[in-house]
Structure 1
Amino acid sequence: MNETVKSLLNHRSIRKYSSRDIEEKELNYILEAAQWAPSSIHGQGVSIIVVKDKENKDKLAHLVGDQGYVAEAPVFLIYCMDFNRAAKACEKNGLEIKIITSEEANLVGAVDVGLAMGNSIVAAESMGLGTVPIGGIRKNPMDVIEMLNLPKYVYPICGLVVGYPEENPDQKPRMPKELVVHNEKYKEIKKEQLDSYDDLISDYLKERTGGADKSQWSQRISGVYKSIYYPRVKESLENQGFTGRE
């Protein structure tokens, strides 16, 4: 097993950070790794906002749901799907950008952002840094858009906290491979398989929290997905030009 695979298999989310700054060359590696991720039709539809200013990090920490580690870590990166440059390319060639009227734009943008952020996470962790993605960037999207001065056709998909870890938590157990990897055709999860994984997560949380949390995976997931937990996304997407009519 090479060092890259070891790093990937050792991943864990970090929520306690040292105040130690990240060297500029390390940050550049993280950002360059994101740029070299594949993108649909070589559209390169990702922009990354680098936030280091303490006041800005404090404000963002509040906007994403009062997640203190956003302010605590030295750098917060915000990954945006960006069709603004593509719109300029269409304008240059006398064409109208139509993809932003389709749900395909949202899928393409989210996938490209995910690939770019994945590269950043691998790069950061290979240098001994810790990370945690922040989907809460979509909790108050219009406030974030205004704060970051994002133009039309640019939308914040996810944030990434980066810094030196002040903790080394146990890895949260993943589902068994046979529930995730399907050969030739999809196989539905069986009740006993879900029960088994629920017990595994419950035991993990019980040990990690000293008995304060014994919840199961299915309880936690259903508790979140019983409602639209970021209800402002649709309106804010449309406000940025992503109408998704087709």
Structure 2
Amino acid sequence: MIRTLTSHRSFRQYRKQAVEPEMLRLIIEAAQAAPSWANGQQVSIIAVRSEERRQQLSELSGNQKHVAAAPVFLVFCMDFYRAQAASRLEGLPFEAAKDVDALLVGATDVGIALSNAVAAAESLGLGVIPIGGVRRHTAEVIELLQLPEYVFPIAGLCVGYPAEELPKKPRLPMEAVLHEEQYNPEVKGLIEEYNLAHRASLKAQGLTERDWSSTIARFYSLNPQYGDAQHTLKRQGFTCDNLNK
């Protein structure tokens, strides 16, 4: 298990081979087994195999060709629709979507389930890459997948048999991630150290050398507002009323 987790790679090219139904079922079972807030299981997964629909999602995700190339694309959604149905069943008001904490709960539950799915897929010899681009045009994704109120797309996952071999990307020094007792903000030297490893990895692959810090700084300076979620969250029922008080 540890070897699988620490050997993760993100694959963008896949063989033209379908993912067997039993394989997909095992991946979804692993995702379902993930812990969730209050055992609310605030996650739903849309499996997209249709070539036409995968192409549409590819375009909506920022023209990421691997979304269309993967034999199956999983869209992970935070889902409070069932919680609302449970409230109706019990004759109680459903107030959670008015609380900004619902967004934290939903996104966290999706992240944990997605991580389980990644580990399960890789343990079966499949390749994956998570796709945050489903949040670029959420209004269209919601319409395409017919997501009801209180359901929102958080991330996608390409799944298939890899058609390439990839090296493992270096990660930040553990000292930049693991903080003992309290947060240590002195990360400048650690980032500079990581920049060297990052550049060396790119060079070994014959790619253009660039600093990790340059890539991240540019991304967050050019993407102050990613996608249309600020509009579609409210349309899906997540009003977060207490955020404005």
- Tell me which interval the TM-score lies in, with the shorter structure as reference length: over 0.9
CA contact (8 A) 2:138 2:227 kept: no
Matched pairs, number = 241
Matches within 5 A, 1:25-104: 25-104=22-101
SS for the counterpart of 2:25 is helix
CA contact (8 A) 2:87 2:94 kept: yes
> For the residues of structure 2 that align with 1:225 and 1:56, how far apart are their CA atoms?
30
Q: Which amino acid aligns with 1:100?
A: A
- Larger mean Cα displacement after TM superposition, 37-46 or 221-230: 221-230
Work out whether 1:238 is the aligned partner of 2:239: no
> For the residues of structure 1 that align with 2:119 and 2:227, how far apart are their CA atoms?
31
Q: Deviations over 1:80-132 (max 9, x none)?
A: 00000101111122222111111100000001001111111111000100000
Q: 1:150: which partner in 2?
A: 147
Q: Give 5+ residue unaligned stretches, structure 1.
A: none
TM-score (norm 1): 0.95
Q: Which amino acid aligns with 2:107?
A: A
Deviation at 1:229, TM superposition (A): 4.3
SS for the counterpart of 2:165 is coil
Q: 1:195: which partner in 2?
A: 192
Q: Give 5+ residue unaligned stretches, structure 2.
A: none
Q: 1:7: which partner in 2?
A: 4
> For the residues of structure 2 that align with 1:89 and 1:106, how far apart are their CA atoms?
19
RMSD: 1.1
Deviation at 1:46, TM superposition (A): 0.5
> For the residues of structure 2 that align with 1:130 and 1:197, how far apart are their CA atoms?
26
> For the residues of structure 1 that align with 2:118 and 2:129, how far apart are their CA atoms?
9
Q: Which amino acid aligns with 1:215?
A: R
SS for the counterpart of 2:87 is helix
SS for the counterpart of 1:195 is helix
Q: 2:209: which partner in 1?
A: 214
Q: Deviations over 1:184-203 (max 9, x none)?
A: 11111332222111222122
> For the residues of structure 1 that align with 2:233 and 2:173, how far apart are their CA atoms?
36
Same amino acid, percent of matched pairs: 44
> For the residues of structure 1 that align with 2:187 and 2:37, how far apart are their CA atoms?
35
Q: Which amino acid aligns with 2:230?
A: K
Work out whether 1:117 is the aligned partner of 2:114: yes
Deviation at 1:222, TM superposition (A): 1.1
Q: Which amino acid aligns with 2:9?
A: R
